[in-house]
Amino acid sequence: MTMNKVAIIGVGHTKFGKIQDKGLMDLLCEASLTAIEDSNTNDKDFDSVYVGAMSPEILNKTAGVASALVDRISLIPAAADDIKNGPASGGSAIKAGFQAIASGMSELVLVVGGEKMTHITTPGYVTSTVATLTQPEAERPHGVSLPSFAGLLTRAYLEKYNAKLEWISDIAIKNHKNGALNPNAHFQKTIEDFMKIAIEKGRGSWDNIYEFLSDDKTNPIIADPLRLFHICPISDGAAALVLCNAEKAKQYNDMPIMISGVGQATDTHIVFEREEIITLKALKICSSQAYQMAKKTPKDIDVAELHDAFEILEAVQSEDIGFFKKGEGAKAAHEGLTEIGGKIPINPSGGLKARGHPLGATGVAQVIELYWQLRGEAGKRQVTSAETGITCNFGGFGNNIISILVERM
């Protein structure tokens, strides 16, 4: 049999950032209602709703978020499930929605990802919550957290490939530059902007951006050698997609975007057991699945949204997803190949670094950015004539990765 094809016919994206006047459910509702309105489905019945949120139980003292959402936005009796895969919960929710339609069980599906985190004020609480993804015997009791893994990975990468930390900084610089063009981004400032503000406020004086980024006060070390500006923020936000059987998509939308490849793969839970820490085996596998399903190769990709929770990850992912040879990702970023207008633009949205990272929302927001790029609706950050895009959404520390390939219909 051939599976039903699946198209995106509507999107909704809240502002990401420190959203003090809204709770998790408010954010999910806002993104969902925007997506439904955008889809022109009007009062058509939705069959299923999938919510990707990593930790509402801990961060928001609530469970059954999907069940509550369908009531709040009047989609009852639609089926509703919460899908969890750490910071890749959004990607997994999209995959669940994709399978609901591909199987023929659903025609019209709402997928929404979101997280509300910035209300947590206890120091370390959010990082500890995310660290519940680490291995409970071999890693967590030894104080390992996701930032510490990223620090180790950076050291290993710089040493093995004779790369420079400045090249990793270049990724942050690029992503902040892109984020400054994205009205939904958590940070709509370039790093130059941050430097100018610091100078104006008399916090110091620097000749150039690299000097500013080496200052222990303005850019403190978080997980050596990674500093604050190498790491994504803690954000609030939500993002939603309306998915539809592709055969019916044009009834609702003049220019639906097709989800033509979906891949997901796991790797060892214990990071030190991996053959090579610098290679994301799960990404190699899941992106291959997505390329194969869509009958594409990395060369066909015009734009990508990768999971730069730590800037080193964008470099490594850009290699393992097939854009650059092993060890050349950071250098490529340094040389500008991944900028908007470069050979393969990565994270025109600003990525997790600048758009922000409300865990469950990220995987959905990545696909929305590609939807806008492929429709030519990305405003000042538009990649010229983008027709095909791919994502990498990262669960745990690379032990469960999802890749979604979208293209124009």
Residues at the interface with its own copies (CB under 8 A): 1-4, 48, 54-55, 57-58, 61-64, 66-68, 70-72, 75-86, 92, 95-96, 98-100, 102-105, 129, 132-133, 135-136, 262, 264-270, 281-282, 285-286, 395-396, 399-400
Q: How far is the CB of 376 from its own copies (least distance, A)?
A: 30
Q: How far is the CB of 134 from its own copies (least distance, A)?
A: 9
Give whichever of 44 and 203 is closer to its own copies, judged by the CB atom: 44
Q: Cα separation of 282 and 288, whole Å?
A: 10
Q: How far is the CB of 284 from its own copies (least distance, A)?
A: 9
Phi/psi region, residue 191 (left: phi>0; alpha: psi -120 to 50; beta: rest), is alpha
DSSP state of 271: G
Q: How far is the CB of 235 from its own copies (least distance, A)?
A: 19
Give whichever of 22 and 155 is closer to its own copies, judged by the CB atom: 22
Give whichever of 100 and 370 is closer to its own copies, judged by the CB atom: 100
Give whichever of 52 and 151 is closer to its own copies, judged by the CB atom: 52
**How large is the angle between the packed helices 146-160 and 311-320, nearest 10 degrees?**
60
Which tokens go with 338? 């991944």
Nearest CA to 287 among 309, 258, 252, 316? 316
Bridge partners (DSSP) of residue 407 are 258, 388
Q: How far is the CB of 98 from its own copies (least distance, A)?
A: 8
Q: How far is the CB of 242 from its own copies (least distance, A)?
A: 18
Q: Which amino acid appears at position 106 of this protein? A: S
Q: Which run of H or E residues covers position 388?
A: strand 388-391
User: How far separated are the first and last CA of the chain, in Å rounded?
Assistant: 21
Give whichever of 135 and 349 is closer to its own copies, judged by the CB atom: 135
Give whichever of 133 and 153 is closer to its own copies, judged by the CB atom: 133
Q: Cα separation of 404 and 400, whole Å?
A: 14
Give whichever of 2 and 208 is closer to its own copies, judged by the CB atom: 2
Q: Cα separation of 88 and 91, whole Å?
A: 5
Q: How far is the CB of 16 from its own copies (least distance, A)?
A: 22
Nearest CA to 354 among 116, 177, 134, 225? 177
Tokens 């998509």 belong to residue: 249
Which tokens go with 341? 């207008």
